[in-house]
Amino acid sequence: METIEKAKKKNFFKRIFPQSRSDWKLYFIKTLPIIFAEVIFCLNGFLDNFMVSHLSQGVDSLTYANTWTGLLTTMFFAIQGILSMFVGQYYGKKEYDKINQIMNVRFWMFLFIAFCFALPSWISPNSMIIAVSGKSISTHALANARKYLLLMTAVWLICAYNFNTNMLLIETGHSKYALVSSTLTLLSNCTINAITLFALKKPFPYYAAIGTIISNVICLISDLLFAYFKDRNIFMSPFKLFNITKPIAKQIFRRLPAIIFMIIAMITIPLRMMIWTRGFPESSVGKVWMGISGVTILGLVESLSSVASSITYACSNNVTYFFARHLGRDEFEEAEKHAYALRGFHTICGVISSVLMIGIIYVIAYLPSSAKGVQEYIGGYFANNNNLASINNEYNLSLSNVSELQPSFILERITEGKNFFRTTFINSCYVFIGINPIWCWFYTTSALIRAGGKNYLSSITTFTANILSFGWLLIIVFVLKRYFPSLSLPLAYFLFFGFDFVRLIVYEIIALKCNWMQNITIEGMEKDPSYHV
């Protein structure tokens, strides 16, 4: 036994990659559609931000409102992450009725959360926006953010169902169908946004929500059709949503504390934007007349970060399919083989994703529309007589009216502002590009611990790590920024994500010290022999 253990340790670096050409091929066949589907899902969020970047404070308005959307979907992912182990293991045992029951439980959880966000948004949308932006938000940004938020509440309610159906297709190995649904979602959203914002030239950012609503309905319909015609065993019937048996309810209820821990841990991620807005409020990044805030930059950066880190989404779903499925069949050696190989495979995918993203960020940075919102703000600033005193003071002028400014002077300021925006944007993007492969490794480790039955341990570890990470952000924004006012946004962003190396070490220690390969489908068999009939 000791010899076997020594051999495993000796061959560790060989084991963390797929062992054969067929394994590589299988991983890519299953993973690429998941990655592309998640990239498309993330692009939908980026698309709205990018397509309003030509409007003054358009990105700011949508980012304030979409912070709540981010919180909601993060909570959905947290619940899905815990319950996906049941889907994987029951699917491996072909107990489809139990999968349908788990889907029903997830739906009611999602719907409850969606209403918890929608109700306060309907009652006091201004308060919801100000909670993110702080009181320094401009009237223009607040008005657009409020209208966008109200429209997005419809998306939240739709997502309670279509988020579930799309996840189910991926968790059960039908990722190519989920990819088709996601593609239809992106194309419809892009088309409608192009019509409203560019063809019809609507000057209000909240029109971007119309495309999001319609595209989510299309996603819901296509998911249901694929499940019904391609694998009816997993079809989530809207007429059987109350079909939840007592054994399944008990099994999930026992994981409720783990789910709560995971939700609290995960919501710290979108909550970060609230902290960044307070550390880098409107017109605090660069010079005042540039009108750039932390949100102006990070609204785009975080959207691109989610695209680059789409591999981490595949981590959980691949673990469900390749690892948990074998545990449900008591095939522990096969499960262990995939547990090691997936970590190396996902990390390589993360490196490839980061390399590709380098080119993408430069293309986006130098697109004329990317910095057009900054250009519009600068032009408006130097055309406003209310800013005359500030202009005279900064440039040692003695103008009596802003109309006396030379066009060449304003053009120089616009060029300076656009160059600063691009430099800050690119440097901030390099942070997530560098850390992305690290995310792929430790998110896979976390998913393995969770899918192998140690969901309490995984949830508490994630909770502790994320709370400490959030605390580190508070220190950066409210302590370091206070004593070092010149601390730039990219440097602060880099310091924050440096904490992820600590998270990596913690997850690896946990994985090394505990047994995370358990078949959870046998729970309750001793007390209820009919449970697995």
User: Taking 50 as the threshold, does the pLDDT of residue 464 lie above it?
Assistant: yes
Give the 3-state DSSP-derived string for 115-155, with helices as H, strands as E and coil as C: HHHHHHHHHCHHHHHHHHHCCCCCHHHHHHHHHHHHHHHHH
Strongest mean pLDDT among 25-39, 69-83, 218-232, 253-267: 218-232
Task: Please report, rounded to a whole number, the percentage of residues in the chain having pLDDT higher than 70.
Answer: 92
Whole-Å CA distances, 137 to 53, 133, 144, 151, 387: 17, 6, 11, 20, 18
Mean pLDDT, rounded, for 332-349: 88
Residue 501 CA to residue 55 CA, distance in Å, equals 38
pLDDT at 78 (0 to 100): 84
- Region 514-518: what's the mean pLDDT? 78
What phi and psi, each to the nearest 5 degrees, are found at residue 385? -65, -20
- Distance between CA atoms of 216 and 361, rounded to whole angstroms? 27
Which of 510 and 13 is assigned the larger pLDDT? Answer: 510
Mean pLDDT score, 414-418 = 93
Give yes or no for residue 50 having a pLDDT over 80.
Answer: no
Can you give the pLDDT at residue 245?
A: 92
The pLDDT value given to residue 54: 64
Phi, psi of 101 (to 5 degrees): -65, -40
Instruction: State both tokens at 49.
Output: 């931000």
Most confident of 69-83, 191-205, 337-351, 418-432: 418-432
Does the pTM exceed 0.85? no
What pLDDT was estimated at residue 524? 52
pLDDT at 9: 52
Q: Is 286 helix (H, G, I), strand (E, B) or coil?
A: coil
- 206-249 pLDDT, tens digit per residue, is 678 888 899 999 999 999 999 899 888 888 888 899 999 998 89
Listed in order, strand segments (DSSP E) in 233-376 are none
pLDDT beyond 60 at 527: no
What percent of the chain has a predicted confidence (pLDDT) above 90?
Answer: 32
Determine the average pLDDT of the residues in 327-354. 88
Predicted local distance difference test score (pLDDT) of residue 56: 67
The per-residue b/e assignment along 76-106, b for 16 or more CB within 10 angstroms, e otherwise, is: bbbbbbbbbbbbbbbbbbebbebbbbbbbbb
Mean pLDDT highest for which of 30-34, 169-173, 427-431, 456-460? Answer: 427-431
Least confident of 32-46, 188-202, 415-429: 32-46
Query: Which residue is it, tokens 């699917």?
Result: 91
User: Residue range 153-169: average pLDDT?
Assistant: 90
Estimate to the nearest angstrom the gap between the alpha carbon of 179 and the chain centroid. Answer: 17
Predicted local confidence at residue 11, as pLDDT: 67
What pLDDT, on the 0 to 100 scale, is given for residue 231?
87
Which of 111-120, 400-409, 487-496 bottoms out in mean pLDDT, i.e. has the lowest? 400-409
Q: Say how far apart CA 249 and CA 111 lie, in whole Å.
A: 17
Q: Which residue has the higher pLDDT, 252 or 475?
A: 475
To the nearest whole number, what is the mean pLDDT of the chain?
A: 85
Better-scored residue on pLDDT, 8 or 261:
261
Identify which has the larger pLDDT, 54 or 2. Answer: 54
Say what the pLDDT of residue 523 is. Answer: 59
Average pLDDT over residues 289-306: 86
Cα 342 from chain centre: 21
Q: What is the pLDDT of residue 1?
A: 42
Is residue 123 within 8 A of residue 149, CB to CB? The reply is: no
Whole-number pLDDT of residue 221: 93
User: Which amino acid is located at 275 in the chain?
Assistant: I
Tell me what pLDDT residue 3 has: 43
pLDDT per residue as tens digits for the range 439-456: 999 889 888 887 776 777
* pLDDT (0 to 100) of residue 268: 87
